[in-house]
Structures are given as C-alpha cells and as structure tokens.
C-alpha cells in the first residue's frame, strides 16, 4: 500500500502527464519546423522524443505515484488489485484520472506557449475510422500486458526503458500512432499542431482505449492470474520506503 501523501501522488501524476504531453506536442511542433517536407521523418523525431521523455518521466515520478500518467493504467491497477488489497482504491483512481486529464490539457497549453502559439488552439486534425480505433485497441492492450508482465515477473525496475520503447515502437506499428491514453488524447485536442486530434475524434479514440482496457485485463487475468498481487508496483515500485526512513 502506498502511504505517500495523496496530494503528493496527485501532483506527481498531474505534472508527469503534463510533461509527457508537452514532450509529445512540443517534439511534433519542432519536427514540422525542422523537417517540413518529410512526414515520415517528422514521425520518427516525434516518436523518439516521446519514448525518451516517457522513460525519464517514469524514473522521475515513479517513486511517488507509480508514474501511471494514464487513466487506463490506473483503472487496470485498481481492478486487478482489488482482490488482493493492493493497488489504487476507488478514490485514488478518481483522483488519478482527474489529475492526469488536467495534466494532459496543461501539457498542450505549455507546448503551445513554448513555441509562441496561442495557449489553446483546438485541433482540426480529424482522426476517424475503424482501422484507427482498432489501432488504439491494440496499442492499449499491449501496453497493459507489458506493464503487468513486468510487475508479475519482478522486473518492474526496467519499466522506464520497456514502456518507453513500447510506446516509441507503437507509433510505427499501429495505424493510430498509439495514443493509448485517454488523458493524453484529451490533452492533444488542445493543440492544432502535428500531434493534435480534433475534439470530435476524441470520444471514439477514448472508447477504443477502454475496449483495450477490457481486453488487456482479460488477457492479464488469463496469462498472469496473480498479477494483481503486485499492483502496488505499477508502473514501477512506489512503496513508502522514503517515509519509512523518516525522510518523507
């Protein structure tokens, strides 16, 4: 059970998600400025920056909140941990989801401002189609399988590198470029840049991610029946060791 003060955990989730979206959006803007005529190169630059930033952010905020940065990850943590008395409580889940979503919006605003754009520019980039929604289901399911496989096998310490690598790769092997995160999806609606998504496209993307959540939980239960016992280590171990040593 994580006994770090709730406000500290929520702050970590808010700031971490904000910086993740800042990395996604900011690197997309920079990529279009540096390589204006090569969309493939733009995606490469965007995916590398996102993967590296995600790994660094998990290392930074993981000891406080677990570095979920994603309502789907938090929901899986809550659901799978209930039977074992581990992971997030229902109240924690609600707080995490709100903090992550607000952080996602703040991240887009910050990226816009850094590149001298209006603070809020709603995206006009339509992302719609069954093939894209399927890509989101695949990306989200795979992300959850990876995280809980690492926890179940006692390898959560490598999650920063593994999760960053997965997201970087999923940019390329999924048709949707792997949003796989409702908070990030909502946040990216607030920037009319390379990484943006039109507000009208957001509900279907989030719906697909929720389908991926259900599929991921089902596969995790089938493959790793006791994965919930390690829910306190999702995405990385975040027990109260610091507080136990009197340095909280």
CATH of the domain at 32: 1.20.1080.10
* pLDDT on residue 241: 43
The neighbour count for residue 94, using CB atoms within 10 Å, is 14
Output the six-digit token pair for 228.
């919930």
Q: Is 125 exposed, middle or buried (0-12, 13-18, 19+ CB in 10 A)?
A: middle
235 inside domain: no
1 inside domain: no
* pLDDT on residue 238: 79
247 inside domain: no
Residuewise pLDDT in 10s, the chain (248 residues):
567 999 999 999 999 999 999 999 999 999 999 999 999 999 999 999 999 999 999 999 999 999 999 999 999 999 999 988 999 999 999 999 999 999 999 999 999 999 999 999 999 999 999 999 999 999 999 999 999 999 999 999 999 999 999 999 999 999 999 999 999 999 999 999 999 999 999 999 999 999 999 999 999 999 999 988 998 999 988 764 444 344 44
Number of domains in the chain: 1
201 inside domain: yes
Give the residue among 95, 97, 122, 124 at the shortest CA–CA distance from 209: 97
Angle at 162 between CA 55 and CA 143, to 5 degrees: 100
Give the whole-angstrom CA distance, residue 159 versus residue 151: 9
32 inside domain: yes
237 inside domain: no
240 inside domain: no
105 inside domain: yes
Domain, as residue range, for 119: 6-226
Q: State the pTM of this model.
A: 0.94
């Amino acid at each position: 059970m994580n006994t770090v003060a709730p406000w500290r955990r929520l702050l970590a989730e808010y700031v971490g998600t904000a910086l993740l979206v800042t990395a996604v959006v900011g690197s997309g803007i920079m990529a279009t400025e540096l390589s204006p005529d090569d969309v493939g190169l733009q995606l490469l630059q965007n995916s590398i920056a996102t993967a590296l930033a995600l790994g660094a952010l998990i290392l930074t905020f993981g000891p406080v909140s677990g570095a979920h940065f994603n309502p789907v990850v938090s929901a899986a943590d809550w659901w799978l941990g209930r039977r074992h008395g581990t992971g997030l409580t229902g109240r924690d889940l609600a707080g995490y989801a709100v903090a992550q979503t607000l952080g996602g919006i703040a991240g887009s605003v910050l990226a816009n401002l850094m590149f001298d754009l209006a603070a809020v520019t709603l995206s006009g980039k339509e992302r719609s189609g069954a093939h894209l929604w399927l890509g989101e289901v695949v990306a989200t399911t795979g992300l959850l399988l990876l995280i809980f496989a690492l926890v179940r096998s006692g390898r959560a310490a490598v999650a920063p590198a593994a999760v960053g690598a997965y997201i970087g790769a999923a940019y390329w092997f999924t048709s949707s470029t792997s949003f796989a995160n409702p908070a990030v999806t909502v946040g990216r609606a607030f920037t009319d840049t390379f990484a943006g998504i039109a507000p009208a496209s957001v509900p279907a993307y989030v719906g697909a991610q929720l389908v991926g959540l259900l599929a991921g939980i089902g596969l995790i239960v089938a493959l790793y029946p006791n994965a919930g016992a390690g829910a306190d280590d999702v995405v990385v171990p975040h027990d109260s060791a610091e507080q136990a040593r009197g340095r909280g």
